[in-house]
C-alpha cells in the first residue's frame, strides 16, 4: 500500500518559512539542509523548500492548490495564523457543507493552506 510521506511547500526565504510554520504549527521542525526545513506531521513531512538556498537554479513558485493540515485546537491555530502574518486569511473559522470546520489562508509565499479541526476531517 502506498504511503504519502512528504509534501513540498516552495518558499523563497527558508528562515521566514521556519519562523512562520514553527509558530503556526506550534513546533520547531528540523533544518535538514540549507534550503529545507521539515515538520513531521504524524508521519507525513511538511517540507519547506527554498531552491535558491539549496543551490538550485529553479525559482520557487507557490503550489497551485491547498495543503490541508488537521489540528487538535483550531481556534488556537487560527489565532496563530493571524499573529504570524499570513498573506491572506479567511475572516473567520467556518463549517463547510461537507462537515469540516476549517479556515483557509495563504502563507507568506502564496501557498494556499487550510487548517481543519481534526475531529471534523472528511476523507470521503
The full set of domain ranges for the chain reads 6-120
DSSP secondary structure string, 75-97? HHHHHHHHHHT-SEE-SS-EE-T
Looking at residue 20, what is its pLDDT? 98
Q: Long-range contact list for 74-79, CB < 8 A, 24+ apart?
A: 74/101, 74/102, 74/103, 74/115, 74/116, 74/117, 76/26, 77/24, 77/26, 77/115, 78/103, 78/115
Looking at residue 58, what is its pLDDT? 92
Confidence of residue 52 (pLDDT cuts 50, 70, 90): very high
Q: How many CB atoms lie within 10 A of CB 55?
A: 9
pLDDT, tens digit, 9 for 90 and up, residues 4-16: 999 999 999 999 9
pLDDT, tens digit, 9 for 90 and up, residues 14-41: 999 999 999 999 999 999 999 999 999 9
The CATH H-level superfamily of 6-120 is 2,3-Dihydroxybiphenyl 1,2-Dioxygenase, domain 1 (3.10.180.10)
Confidence of residue 47 (pLDDT cuts 50, 70, 90): very high
CA distances from 32 to 35, 76, 114 (A): 8, 28, 25
Looking at residue 65, what is its pLDDT? 97
Looking at residue 13, what is its pLDDT? 98
pLDDT, tens digit, 9 for 90 and up, residues 56-102: 999 999 999 999 999 999 999 999 999 999 999 999 999 999 999 99
| Burial class for 92, CB neighbours closer than 10 Å (0-12, 13-18, 19+) | exposed
Amino acid at each position: 500500500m502506498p504511503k504519502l510521506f512528504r509534501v513540498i511547500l516552495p518558499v523563497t526565504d527558508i528562515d521566514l518559512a521556519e519562523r512562520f510554520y514553527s509558530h503556526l504549527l506550534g513546533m520547531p521542525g528540523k533544518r535538514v539542509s540549507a534550503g529545507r526545513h521539515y515538520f513531521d506531521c504524524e508521519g507525513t513531512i511538511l517540507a519547506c523548500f527554498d531552491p535558491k538556498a539549496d543551490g538550485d537554479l529553479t525559482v520557487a513558485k507557490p503550489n497551485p492548490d491547498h495543503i490541508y493540515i488537521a489540528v487538535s485546537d483550531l481556534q488556537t491555530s487560527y489565532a496563530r495564523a493571524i499573529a504570524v502574518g499570513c498573506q491572506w486569511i479567511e475572516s473567520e473559522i467556518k463549517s463547510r457543507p461537507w462537515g469540516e470546520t476549517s479556515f483557509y489562508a495563504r502563507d507568506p509565499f502564496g501557498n494556499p493552506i487550510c487548517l481543519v479541526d481534526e475531529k471534523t476531517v472528511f476523507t470521503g
